[in-house]
């Protein structure tokens, strides 16, 4: 079996897994798009390996597989940055929700306490 067939099978397997995860509501659409693009490029480069050779030569890279590693590492760094941004956004939202909950609890506690205080003044 050639590396082209192996890459194509891996890409289709990745795409199938991603679609299954979306269907089972395990992967959000925003994240799924990233992974589907990755699967598409794995299939594309597996079926047409000369694409990477062409771009490597145009960029002055003597050993074309090096370009794959550079692109792969770049994609990983972009994905990690994206995850960190999303995590920061979720933490900010959670902090704001906790503050709102604390305010609502304080207001609720004050409203429950107020009628009791009024009753004690009548005695």
**Whole-model pTM over 0.85:** no
Q: Are 8 and 43 in contact (CB under 8 A)?
A: yes
pLDDT tens, position by position, 14-30: 889 999 998 999 988 77
pLDDT in tens, 64-80: 989 989 999 999 999 99
For the cut 50, the answer to whether the pLDDT of residue 119 exceeds it is no
Tens-digit pLDDT profile for residues 88-100: 999 999 999 999 9
Beta carbons of 10 and 42 less than 8 angstroms apart: yes
């Amino acid at each position: 079996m050639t590396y082209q067939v192996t890459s194509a099978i891996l890409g289709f397997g990745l795409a199938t897994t991603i679609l299954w995860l979306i269907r089972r509501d395990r992967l959000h659409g925003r994240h799924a798009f990233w992974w589907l693009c990755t699967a598409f490029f794995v299939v594309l480069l597996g079926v047409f390996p000369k694409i990477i050779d062409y771009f490597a030569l145009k960029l002055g890279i003597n050993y074309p597989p090096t370009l794959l590693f550079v692109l792969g590492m770049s994609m990983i760094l972009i994905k990690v940055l994206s995850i960190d941004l999303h995590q920061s956004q979720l933490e900010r939202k959670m902090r704001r929700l906790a503050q709102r909950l604390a305010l609502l609890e304080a207001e609720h506690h004050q409203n429950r306490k107020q009628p009791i205080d009024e009753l004690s003044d009548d005695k």
